[in-house]
Structure 1
Amino acid sequence: MKVLVVHNRYRAEQPSGENNVVDQEVALLAGAGHEVGLFERRSDEIAGMSLPRKAVLPLKVPWNRAVRAELARRLHDDRPDVVHLHNTFPLLSPSVLAACADAGVPAVATLHNYTQICAPGTLYRDGHVCTDCVGRAPVPAVRHGCYRGSALATVPVAASLVLNRKRWWSGVSRFFCISGAQRETLVAAGMPAERLVVKHNFVEDPGKTRTGAGEHVLFLGRITAEKGAGLLMAAWDRLGGIGLPLVIAGAGPMQEEVGRWAHGRADVSYLGLRSKQECRDLIARANTVVAPSTWLETFGLVIVEAMAAGVPTVAAAHGAFRELVEDGVTGLLHEPGDPSSLADRLREATGDRNQEMGRAARLAYEKDFTPEVGLDRLVGGYRAAMGVPAE
C-alpha cells in the first residue's frame, strides 16, 4: 500500500505526543513493507519568516492556496493509494482536502483532539470543561480568547472551523478517533457517526516490565493545570506520606510553581524534562503512575505506557481514562477535580493490590495496545476508506 502522511509538526521546544504518534505510525507502516511518504510543515518555520509573511499567516489558516497547489502536484507525481491527515494548523490548512478531492485520492484523518468542534481543540476554559461552542458558531471562543488567551489570535482558528466544517465532514472517508469517549462527544456534536471509528494509539513494548513493588509514584507529562498539576500538589499534601516519594517529570507553564513546591522536600522530586529512555526507566521503576487531568483527555499515552510496563495507574474518571483504566482491575479512578478523592485513591493504589493490578494492566496492554494491534487497525481503516475488502 502507498500512503502519503500529511502533518503540520508542532514546535520542537514543546513536547508533542501527536508528533510522536505520527512518527511511530510512519515507522510501523514502513516496517511492515508499506511505502510511506511525508508532506509536512513545521511550526518552527514561523520563527524564520519575514515580518510580511508572518503578518499574512493568519489569513492562510482557513485556506492556503499555495499548499493546495503543492499537494496537488505531489499527489499527481506520487499517486498514493490513500492520504492520512493529522494536524493541518497553522501552515497547511484544510485546503489539503481540496487537493485530495481533485486527485480522487481517499483521505483519512486522525482526530488527536477536539478541533472539529472547539477552536483550541481542548473543550476546556478557565479551569473547567467547556462546551459553549459545541453545536453553534464559535463566538464564545473569540469572546474569551480561547486560543493563546487572545481574541485576535482566536479569530482565524474560529473562522477555519466555521468555513471548513462541511468540507471536513464530507471530504474525509474515515476519521480515526483515538478513544470511544472522544467518538461519543464528536457524534453528539453532529459529526457523521458512520465515518468515525475508534483506533487507539499504540505503544511500543518497552522490553521490560516492572519487577517488585516499585520505588515511587510518578507524574509524567506537561506541567499544566489541565493535566492536573495543581490538583496533584493539593492531593499529595493531604496524604501526609504513604512511604513512597512522588516524582514529577516534564515541563510546562506550571513548572516553576511545581519546582518551588517540591524544593527542600524529602517526599517529592521534580526532575524537569527527561529523555524518552529516561521516561521509560522512570515508569518501569514506578509503583503507581498518576494521571489527574482536569480536562477531557482524548487518549492517555502515559497510561498505556504504564500498562506496557506492568504498572497500575490512578486517573481521573472522565474522558478516555474511563476506558483505558478498568477501575479496581488495572488501576483506580478518582473523582475528577477532587483532591481528597485523588489522595484516597493514591493511598489505595500503593497498597496490597498494587502488583496484582500491575499484572492485569500488562495483560490489557498486550490485548489492545501493541504495535501489532495498531497496524491491523490502521491498515484496516485505510482499506475501508479505499473501498477494499478486509483481508
Structure 2
Amino acid sequence: MRILSVHNRYQIRGGEDESRQAEENMLREMGHQVTVYEEHNDRVAQMSQLQVASRTIWSSEAYQIVQNQLKQQPQDIVHVQNFFPLISPSIYYAAKSEGVPVVQTLRNYRLLCPNGLFFRDGQVCEDCMGKFVPLPGVIHGCYRDNHLASATVATMLTVHRTLGTWTKMVDVFITLTEFARQKFIAGGLPADKIFVKSNFIHPDPQPGEGKGNYAVFVGRLSEEKGLDTLLAAWQQLPVKLPLKIIGDGPLTAKLTADTQNMPEIELLGRKPMSEVYDLIGEAKFLIFPSNWYETFGRVAVEAFAKGTPVIAADIGAIAELVEHNRTGLKFMPSNSADLAAKVTWLLEHPQELNQMRQEVRIEYETKYTIKQNYHKLLEIYDLVRKV
C-alpha cells in the first residue's frame, strides 16, 4: 500500500513521536510505501500569534501541500498521527478532495479537551467533556496557561464540531487502549468508527537481568507525570532505594532543587534509547506515577520488553496495561504513602518480583510485538479502503 503519514512534531520528543516513527518504520519494513508530511513546533516561534491561531483552525498551506502531494503521488490512505497545531484539520478535507480515506490515531485527548490531557491544577479535570463549546478550558487558560491560546484551541474544536469534521471527514479513529476508546465515545465520537490498536516495541530490545539495585522513572518531567508523588514516596521508604530519573521537561529545575538533599535520587536527563533500555532492564522495577488519563504508557511496555515489572498509578490507560500482582503492582493515584507501601512490598518479596519478571516478558511477547501490531493495523486499513 501507499500511505501518507501526517504528523506535527513536538518540541520535546516524547512517546507520541517515538510511536509514530516506529509505525512508519514497520510499514516500510513490511514492504509498503510511506510518504511523510510533517511540521515541527519549532516553527511556532517564527510566527505571530495571529498566524498560529489561523493555522490551528484551518491551515490553507497544509491543505495545499497535502492536496498537491496526493495529486502528484496518489496514496491509498492518509494516516494522521497529529495535526495540532500547525497542520490543522484542513488536511482531512484535502484528502477527501482527492478521494483518499483518512485514519486518525488519537494519541492524546485534544478532540475533547483544550490541553489534551484532562488535567488541571494537579488533578483530573473533565469540565469540557461533552460541551460543544469548551469554555471552561478558555476560562482557566488550560492550554499553555494562556487564555488567548486556549481560546484558539476551543475555537478550532467548536468550528470543526459545527462542520461535522470528526464524523464526516475521518473514516476511522485509532485509540491505543479501550480506556481511551470509551473516553472518546463518551465525548461524542461515533463508537463504530473507533478501533483499539496499541503501540508496540521493535526491534525486540531483549530482556535485562534486573541486577541493578535501583528503581527507574522514564518520562517527561511535567506536572501530570506524578513526580511530586514519586519524590514524596521516596522520602517515606524505610530503606533508601536508589532511584534513577530519566527525561527532561518543565520541572527539571524544580526537581534538581527538590532532590539536593536526597542523594539516593539521580537525575540523568535525556538519554539515547539504547541506554534507556539498558537502565530499564537492570532496574528492579519501573515506577509509573502519572496522575492523569494516560492514553497508553509506552514506557511501561518498554519495561515489559526488558522483563522489568511496573508499579503504576491505578488510573487511565496505564491501569489497563498493568495487571496487579502479575506484571507489577498498582497504587492509588497521587497517594505517596500507598506508592511507598507497594515499593516496600516488592522489595520484601523477591520471589514474587522474579515471577513478575517472567510474566511481563510473556505480556510483551503476547501483545506488543511488531507481528500482532502489523496485522491489526492492516485490518484497520482494509476497513477504510472498503468504505
What residue number does 2:359 align with? Answer: 360
Return structure 1 stretches of 4+ with deviation > 6 angstroms.
Answer: none
1:128 to 109, 123, 128: 123
- Report the RMSD for the aligned CA atoms in angstroms: 1.5
Q: What SS does the corresponding residue of 1:271 show, helix, strand or coil?
A: strand
Mapped partners of 2:165, 2:112: distance in 1: 14
Q: Which residue of 1 aligns with 2:158?
A: 162
Structure 2 residue corresponding to 1:239, chosen from 237, 240, 245: 237
SS of equivalent to 1:86 = strand
Aligned partner (choices 246, 249, 252) of residue 249 of structure 1: 246
Q: Over residues 2-35 of structure 1, what are the superposed CA-to-partner deviations in whole Å (9 max), with x where a residue is unaligned?
A: 1110111112xx1221111111111110010001
Taking the aligned partners of 2:263 and 2:67, their CA distance within structure 1 comes to 59
For structure 2, the residue ranges without an aligned partner over 5 or more in a row are none
Could you say which residue in structure 2 is the equivalent of 1:175?
A: 173
Deviations 1:267-304 (A, max 9, x none): 22111221211111110111000000011101101100
Paired letter, 2:265: V
2:68 pairs, out of 70, 73, 76, with 73
Deviation at 1:349, TM superposition (A): 2.5
- Map of 1:317-336 to 2, 5 A cutoff? 317-336=314-333
Query: Match for 2:354: what amino acid?
Result: Q
The answer (yes or no) to whether the contact 1:210–1:284 under 8 Å persists in 2 is: yes
Q: Which amino acid counterpart does residue 162 of structure 1 have in structure 2?
A: T
Instruction: Report the residue type matching 2:145 in the other structure.
Output: G
Instruction: Tell me how far apart the structure 2 counterparts of residues 44 and 253 of structure 1 sit (CA, whole Å).
Output: 16
Partner of 2:338: 341
**What is the CA-CA distance between 1:154 and the residue it aligns to?**
0.8
Query: For this pair of structures, how many residues does the alignment match?
Result: 382
Q: Work out which of the residue numbers 189, 192, 195 in structure 2 matches 1:191.
A: 189
The CA distance in 2 between the partners of 1:103 and 1:125, in whole Å, is 40
SS of equivalent to 1:314? strand
Residue 138 of structure 1 is matched in structure 2 by 134
Matched to 2:358, the amino acid is R
Q: Is the 8 A contact 2:210 2:283 kept in 1?
A: no
Worse overlay, 36-45 or 104-113: 36-45
Structure 2 CA distance for aligned equivalents of residues 248 and 230 of structure 1: 13
Equivalent AA in structure 2 for residue 307 of structure 1:
F
Q: Percent of pairs identical after alignment? A: 36
Residue type matched to 1:337 in 2? Answer: S
Once residues 331 and 318 of structure 2 are traced to their aligned partners in structure 1, the CA distance between those partners, rounded to angstroms, is 10
* In 1, Cα distance between equivalents of 2:177 and 2:345: 27
Alignment TM-score, normalising by the size of structure 1: 0.94
Aligned CA distance change for structure 1 residues 93 and 207 (closer, same or farther; 3 Å): closer
Residue in structure 2 matched with residue 215 of structure 1 by the alignment: 213
Q: Does 1:100 align with 2:95?
A: yes
TM-score normalised by the chain length of structure 2 = 0.95
